């Protein structure tokens, strides 16, 4: 019987006592069995570590690490990535949900096409009250040639949920998350698209729960917390470099990786994406075609 490739599941945790037992039981009962679960508890102040130690450490597929200091969310994400040994890798939050064949179906697609770096699926994003706010179909249009992939990524707001797909570990270990600026996940995804394709599949179902706040200006609920919370989350001081560092890094990556014409065309996408007049008159839509918002 052919051994299936190992899939590493990285779980960076902080104060996860309310659902950690449920999510670990879910992954251990997935239809795809050749997995390892790398858990890093970021100095939780609740019973997260106690629950894991008392109920799951006897399982050889679980590797548990407890940080001695709070290293911040970004470094914790990188920590579980560094400790992983599989051919494929995915991050998992304790409060998200997946279909039971999520890993099985994703690995089957990745095994058939070496050009795919990341596979994701139909994604539903709920607020903390379990009200559906955003839905993405599987048609991400990030599977063309390198220029087309990057152009589409820069043109539309794909959000950061794509980091929770299944990745080729050998590639994402080369990238990791930057610890120098806010929103490192966007730069991470940009680098993935420099290596290969991100695709979606209707056979992968992913539900994510996020903080939303109502915007009177936009007359809808939008994702994200305030800057003070973001600074605490990333363990960064808020300044011009941490606020704009991600975009600076993307621009530097473009001009250092492509010829003059291609760099110009990609930089134009950034300028158009940031242009509020074009948004106002709806010449240049912000959201990708596979995204649907609910008020």
Same domain, 216 and 276: yes
The answer to whether residue 25 sits within a structural domain is: yes
193/225: higher pLDDT = 193
230/105: higher pLDDT = 105
Per residue in 13-40, pLDDT (tens digit) is 999 999 999 999 999 999 999 999 999 9
Task: Judge contact between 134 and 112, C-beta under 8 A.
Answer: no
Same domain, 63 and 205: no
Same domain, 211 and 194: yes
Per residue in 233-275, pLDDT (tens digit) is 678 888 888 888 999 999 999 999 999 999 999 998 888 776 5
Same domain, 197 and 236: yes
The answer to whether residue 22 sits within a structural domain is: yes
Which domain range does residue 12 map to?
1-95
* pLDDT (0 to 100) of residue 261: 96
Q: Give 280's pLDDT tier (boundaries 50, 70, 90).
A: very low
Task: Count CA within 13 A, CB hemisphere, residue 289.
Answer: 5
Same domain, 150 and 239: yes
221/89: higher pLDDT = 89
In terms of residues, how long is the chain? 295
The last residue of a domain, from among 95, 113, 148: 95
Tokens of 28: 């251990």
* pLDDT (0 to 100) of residue 226: 54
Structural domain tally of the chain?
2
> What Cα–Cα distance (Å) separates residue 73 from each residue in 78, 84, 116?
9, 17, 27
Same domain, 148 and 255: yes
The H or E element that residue 118 is part of is strand 116-126
Rounded Cα distance between 255 and 32, Å, is 42
Same domain, 176 and 246: yes
Cβ-based neighbours of 77, under 8 Å, separated by 6 or more: 10, 12, 91, 177
The answer to whether residue 119 sits within a structural domain is: yes
* pLDDT (0 to 100) of residue 159: 80
* pLDDT (0 to 100) of residue 236: 85
């Amino acid at each position: 019987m052919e051994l299936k490739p190992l899939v590493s599941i990285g779980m960076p945790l902080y104060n996860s006592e309310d659902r950690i037992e449920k999510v670990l039981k879910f992954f251990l009962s997935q239809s795809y069995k050749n997995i390892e679960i790398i858990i890093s508890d970021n100095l939780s102040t609740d019973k997260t570590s106690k629950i894991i130690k008392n109920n799951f450490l006897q399982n050889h597929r679980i590797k548990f690490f407890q940080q001695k200091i709070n290293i911040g969310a970004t470094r914790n994400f990188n920590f579980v990535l560094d400790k992983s040994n599989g051919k494929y890798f995915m991050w998992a939050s304790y409060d998200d949900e997946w279909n039971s064949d999520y890993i099985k179906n994703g690995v089957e697609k990745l095994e058939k096409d070496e050009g795919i770096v990341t596979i994701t699926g139909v994604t539903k994003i709920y607020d903390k009250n379990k009200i559906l706010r955003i839905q993405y179909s599987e048609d991400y249009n990030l599977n063309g040639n390198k220029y087309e992939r990057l152009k589409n990524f820069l043109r539309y707001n794909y959000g950061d949920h794509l980091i929770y797909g299944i990745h080729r570990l050998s590639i994402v270990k080369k990238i990791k998350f930057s610890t120098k600026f806010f929103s490192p996940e966007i730069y991470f995804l940009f680098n993935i698209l420099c290596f290969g394709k991100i695709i979606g599949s209707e056979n992968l179902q992913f539900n994510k729960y996020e903080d939303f706040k109502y915007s009177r200006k936009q007359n809808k609920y939008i994702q994200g917390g305030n800057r003070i919370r973001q600074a605490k989350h990333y363990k960064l001081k808020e300044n011009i470099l941490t606020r704009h560092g991600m975009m600076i890094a993307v621009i530097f990556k473009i001009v250092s990786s492509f010829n003059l014409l291609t760099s110009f065309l990609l930089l134009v996408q950034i300028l158009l994406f940031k242009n509020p007049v074009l948004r106002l008159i709806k010449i240049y839509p912000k959201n990708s075609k596979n995204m649907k918002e609910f008020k």
